[in-house]
């Protein structure tokens, strides 16, 4: 009965998409590559930060050849809920009812529930071959020998019955991807440390990882490498080079074997998540320490992807999107500020986990030669969830109203067809570490909570960045980002009418089941 229900859901989606809009001809469909960075702050690229103590030449080049968004945001201020937003086009509360944490150990089930239309589902139904490589981290179902679903906890890794657990019932290949090579959690931080290839685990976890077997750049940058169970031969230091090679093989094989069919590839890196473990060839390439070397490695990988597209003579036929899942990690921000006078948050208040801008304002760059005019910089407000509707527009799909319900089509902006004075988004939702909401409307921002929504700023290194709260009795925060981009002056009481307006809008969006418009149609250039 369960399998019949799932098949029925898939068939229903197929019929809806097929009837909602005629698919474009295969030779009119571009290849699509998403490069999804991890814990990369707004100020971590030199094209976003003139004061960065290092350069990111390939990403700067990508921005110069396409469009760079300066008001782009992650759906959440931590990784797993943001990844749900990328794949589903929705805020995490659509799946959980509120917030969502990050997974550790053999924990799940997936935030991507059965029946959820994913971006890979949608593209696969339009004739794309789909692949994802790198960090998955939206939850997976693992079972013990008695068929009981396992939860988090490092020791539970040894209880996995791989015969009963694989092929994974909610892995990438069950969510629209034809090919996958992923890790279940953060590749270098959270056990279970195994590789999953097309829903199977070639080498189960049987060895206890000891962090002192890894390099420790600068004596501190190995921080946040948890000890737990791993597969023999699991490679921490070369993780992203491995993910790139898997992506390269997928693209190369596809172009050689089925050149008349488009592909969709997601390269989900673990840079610049803790621990900072740049591959050997990148050690010391900058003058700003190990984390800068790490970001340089990410930049080089982006360059290798673009070079590969050129080598295969498909560059002009490929849309490349670069984005990050949230702001930079707390100690990374602190150490880079103290040691190298570099601000990964790019001048914005807050960092990873926080509802302030530094927690969710992130880089977003798009490049598509011959289609996206070069040299564009836009302050159009956008969210990672918008990638779904934008890609749907690219391939000519009118999305059903009950799919990707927080996704707006940014293609007109990318193509240079949308005036800056005419915003695509009338509003934008984000969620912080505890699932609390923030809402933007123009330059006004309301935080439906006190404090950061994530980190504590009472002691230790974080106390250096604490700001006095002028309205300590206010249950929420209201800021005018046009006059107060640092979110220093809480206008909760002084601008009562605007605050009530945003509170009412937030409640409406939460209860209506969507924040995106209904009846979305593909944009035609």
Find the mean pLDDT for residues 42-53: 98
CATH class of 431-511: alpha beta
DSSP 8-state class, residue 146: T
Distance in angstroms (rounded) separating the CA atoms of residues 48 and 63: 10
- Phi, psi of 191, deg, nearest 5: -60, 145
Q: If DSSP codes are grouped into helix, strand and coil, which group holds residue 117?
A: coil
The DSSP annotation for 204-264 comes to ---EE--GGGS--GGGTTTTT----EE-TT--STTHHHHHHHHHHHHHHHHHHH-TTS-EE
Q: How far is CA 42 from CA 350, 361, 368, 403, 427, in A?
A: 11, 6, 22, 29, 20
The residue that leads in pLDDT, 230 or 16, is 230
282 Cα distance to chain centroid: 24
pTM for the structure as a whole: 0.94
CB 476 within 8 A of CB 470: no
Q: Compute the mean pLDDT over every residue in the chain, rounded to the nearest whole number.
A: 94
* Domain parsing of the chain, residue ranges: 28-426, 431-511
**How many CB atoms sit inside 10 A of residue 59's CB?**
28
- pLDDT value of position 218: 94
Per-residue pLDDT at 12: 44
Same fold: 28-426 with 431-511? no
User: 443-493 pLDDT, tens per residue?
Assistant: 999 999 999 999 999 999 999 999 998 899 999 999 999 999 999 999 999
Span 119-140, pLDDT tens digits? 999 999 999 999 999 999 999 9
SS3 of 179, please?
Answer: strand
Architecture label for domain 28-426? 3-Layer(aba) Sandwich (3.40)
pLDDT value of position 154: 76
Number of H helices, E strands in the chain: 13, 17
Condensed to tens digits (0 to 9), the pLDDT of residues 247-305 reads 999 999 999 999 999 999 999 999 999 999 999 999 999 999 999 999 999 999 999 99
Give pLDDT, residue 17.
47
Residue 278 pLDDT: 98
Please write the tens of the pLDDT for every residue from 64-101: 999 999 999 999 999 999 999 999 999 999 999 999 99
pLDDT of residue 389: 98
pLDDT band at 4 (very low <50, low <70, confident <90, very high): very low
What pLDDT, on the 0 to 100 scale, is given for residue 8? Answer: 42
Cα 6 to Cα 280: distance, rounded to the nearest angstrom = 45
Lowest-confidence region among 7-16, 48-57, 167-176, 305-314: 7-16
Q: Which of 359, 333, 345 is nearest to 437 (CA)?
A: 359
- Mean pLDDT within 14-36: 67
Residue 26 has pLDDT above 60, yes or no: no
Residue 24: its pLDDT value, please?
Answer: 53
Q: List the end-to-end C-alpha distance of the chain, in Å, as a whole number.
A: 45
Residue 433 burial by Cβ neighbours in a 10 Å radius (0-12, 13-18, 19+): buried
Residues 6 or more apart whose Cβ sits within 8 Å of residue 141: 108, 109, 110, 149, 165, 168, 169, 170
């Amino acid at each position: 009965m369960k399998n019949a229900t799932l098949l029925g859901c898939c068939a229903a989606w197929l019929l809806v998409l097929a009837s909602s809009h005629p698919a474009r001809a295969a030779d009119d469909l571009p290849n699509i590559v998403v490069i999804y960075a991890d814990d990369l702050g707004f100020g971590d690229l030199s094209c976003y930060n003139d004061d960065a103590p290092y350069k990111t030449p390939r990403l700067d080049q990508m921005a110069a050849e396409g469009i760079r968004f300066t008001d782009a945001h992650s759906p959440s201020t931590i990784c797993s809920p943001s990844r749900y937003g990328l794949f589903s086009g929705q805020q995490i509360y659509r799946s959980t009812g509120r917030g969502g944490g990050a997974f550790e150990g053999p924990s799940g089930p997936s935030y991507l529930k059965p029946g959820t239309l994913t971006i890979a589902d949608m593209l696969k139904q339009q004739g794309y071959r789909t692949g994802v490589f790198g960090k998955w981290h939206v939850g997976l179902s693992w079972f013990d020998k008695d068929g009981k679903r396992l939860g988090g906890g490092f020791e539970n890794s040894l209880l996995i019955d791989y015969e009963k657990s694989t092929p994974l019932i909610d892995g990438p290949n069950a969510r629209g991807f034809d090919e996958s090579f992923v890790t279940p959690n953060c590749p270098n931080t959270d056990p279970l440390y195994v590789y999953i290839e097309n829903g199977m685990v070639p080498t189960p976890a049987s060895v206890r990882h000891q962090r002192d077997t890894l390099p420790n750049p600068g004596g501190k940058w190995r921080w946040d490498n948890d000890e737990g169970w791993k597969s023999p031969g699991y490679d921490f230091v070369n993780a992203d080079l491995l993910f790139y090679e898997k992506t390269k093989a997928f693209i190369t094989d596809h172009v050689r074997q089925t050149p008349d069919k488009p592909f969709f590839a997601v390269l989900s890196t673990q840079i610049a998540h803790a621990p900072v473990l740049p591959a050997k060839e990148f050690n010391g390439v900058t003058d700003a320490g190990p984390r800068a070397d790490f970001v340089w490695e990410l930049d080089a990988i982006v360059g290798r992807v673009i070079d590969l597209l050129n080598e295969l003579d498909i560059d002009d036929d490929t849309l490349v999107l670069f984005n990050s899942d949230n702001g930079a990690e707390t100690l990374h921000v602190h150490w880079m500020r103290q040691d190298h006078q570099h601000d990964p948050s790019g001048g914005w208040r807050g960092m990873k986990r926080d509802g302030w801008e530094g927690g969710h304002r992130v880089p977003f760059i798009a490049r598509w030669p011959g289609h996206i005019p070069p040299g564009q910089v836009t302050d159009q407000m956008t969210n990672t969830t918008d990638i779904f509707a934008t890609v749907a527009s690219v391939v000519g799909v009118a999305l059903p109203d009950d799919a990707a319900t927080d996704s707006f089509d940014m293609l007109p902006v990318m193509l240079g067809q949308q005036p800056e004075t005419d915003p695509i988004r009338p509003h934008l939702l984000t969620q912080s570490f505890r699932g609390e909401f923030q809402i933007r409307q123009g330059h006004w921002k309301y935080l439906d909570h006190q404090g950061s929504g994530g980190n504590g700023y009472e002691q230790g290194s974080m106390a250096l960045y604490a700001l006095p709260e002028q309205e300590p009795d206010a249950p929420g925060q209201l800021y005018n980002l046009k006059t107060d981009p640092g979110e220093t002056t809480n206008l909760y009481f002084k601008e009562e009418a605007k605050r009530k307006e945003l509170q009412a809008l937030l409640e409406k969006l939460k209860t209506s089941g969507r924040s995106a418009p209904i009846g979305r149609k593909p944009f035609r250039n």
